[in-house]
Amino acid sequence: MTRDLDFKYKSNEKNQIWNIDVGLRRDQKLPELAAPPGFSSDRERSIVSDVKQTQDDNHNNLVDKRSWDIALGPIKSLPMNVFIMYMAGSHISIFPIMMVGMMFFRPIQALMGIRSTMRMLECSNQYALQTVMYTLGNFLSLMLAVYKCNAMGLLPTHPSDWLAFVEPQQRMEFVDGGMRL
């Protein structure tokens, strides 16, 4: 605000009163204005540097925070997912199956798109750790999905699941007989 005003006065002085020159020529520089009375340039300098310092720090912190948010997202949603899975029950019907499907689908999708997520995390200082945490989180939710499938009995982990593939035994001897004719 102050700058704008300064600018106005400045142009008034240089040119005609109602003519305001908005542009600057290529090699023209803003003329240094004399400090207003009672203005200490030292102080101004110190304040500006302070602000700049804090602004820079703030930005870095923000990026880190954001990145951590992204990286820890899967892990953070894990308890929620556990609860949802618990609530879905172990009956094989359309909703539990849809939920388990989503449970599988999301981490897999996330892992497929890990490159774009990594790009998002690039600016962060703890880039490597965040990527690892992100991957770990997704794997954890995938494991949760697998565990849920197991709990629902959808995984062929029992002998009865392989029963259909058991071939009939080949008979080695042949026997016939019955009542005497």
Partner 1 sequence: MNWKWEVLFRALIQFCIISSSFALYEDQIGKFDWKHEFLGKVQHVQFDNLMSVSSYAYIATDRNALACVRMENGGVHKRKILSENDGLISSLVYSPDGLITVTAKGIARIWDPRLSELKWEVDFNEAAEQGTDFQVLASSTMKQHYTQGNLLVLLSNVGLHKAKISNFSPDGAHVTTAPFLEGQQVLPDSTNVLLVDSTSRQILHLVFNDMQKMSVTIHDVIEFEVAHHYLLDVSSLKSMDTAVVLESQVMVYTGPEDSSFYAIDLQSGEEVSTVQLSFHDISSPVRKLFINENPDVANHGTTFAVWHGEDEISLMSYEDKNFENIWSKKFYSILDAQIQKVGFETYLFVTTRHRVSKKSRIHITVVDVKTGIERPELEIKYTVPGNMGDVEKVYIDMFLRRVSPIGYRALLQSTDESITLVEHPNRALWRRDESIASLQDVVMLDLPLSEVHAGMEVELDINSERDISPTVLEMFAKRVKNQYAQLTSWTSQTWNELNSTPSQKKSSSNQVTGLTRDPFSFHKMLVGVSKSGTLFGLDSYSGSIVWRHYHQELKDRNVRLFVQRTTAHFPYPPQVVVLGTAPSKSPALLEFNPITGVFTDKSDAYKDMDSPLIQAFLLPATTDDSHLRPLVLVSKDLGVRLSPASTPSQLVSRHKVFLYDVNQESGVVQGFKITGSGQAEFVWNLAIPKSHRIVACAGKHQMEKIDSMGRPLANRSVIFKYLNPNVGAIISESTEQNVDHASLMLHVFDGVTGRIIHSQIHPRCGGPVQLINSENWIFYSYRHLKYRRNELMSLEFYEGEHQVNSTMFSSFQTRPLPQVVQQAYIFPAHVSALGVTRTERGITSRQILFGFRNGVLFGMIRRFFDPRRPLNMLDQHREEGLVPYMPEIPIAHELMLSYNHTIEQISNIYTSPAALESTSLIFVTGLDLFFTRSQPSKMFDVLKDDFDHGLIAGVLFGMLVTVFVVRRLAQVKKLNKAWR
Residues lying near partner 1 in the complex (CB under 8 A): 153, 158-161, 163-164, 166-181
- Find the shortest distance in angstroms from Cβ 152 to partner 1: 12
Q: Which is nearer to partner 1, 31 or 89 (CB)?
A: 89
In angstroms, give the least distance from the CB of 21 to partner 1.
Answer: 45
**Closest to partner 1 by CB, 41 or 170:** 170
User: Which residue's CB is nearer to partner 1, number 57 or number 161?
Assistant: 161
- Cα four-point dihedral sign 91, 97, 110, 67: negative
- The distance of closest approach from Cβ of residue 82 to partner 1 in the complex, given in angstroms and rounded to an integer, is 24
Residue 129 or 152 with smaller CB distance to partner 1:
152
Buried b (16+ CB within 10 A) or exposed e, 142-152: bebbeebbeeb
In whole angstroms, how close is the CB of 148 to partner 1 at the nearest point?
17
Nearer to partner 1, 121 or 148 (CB): 148
CB of 156 to partner 1, least distance (A): 10
Q: Which residues contact 64 (CB under 8 A, 6 or more apart)?
A: 124, 125, 126
Distance CA 62, CA 71 (A): 14
- Rounded CA gap, 140 and 103, in Å? 11
The answer to whether the Cα torsion of 111, 112, 117, 119 is positive or negative is positive
User: Nearest 5°: CA angle at 43, between 37 and 44?
Assistant: 80
Task: Quote the CA–CA distance of 148 and 85 in Å, as a whole number.
Answer: 7
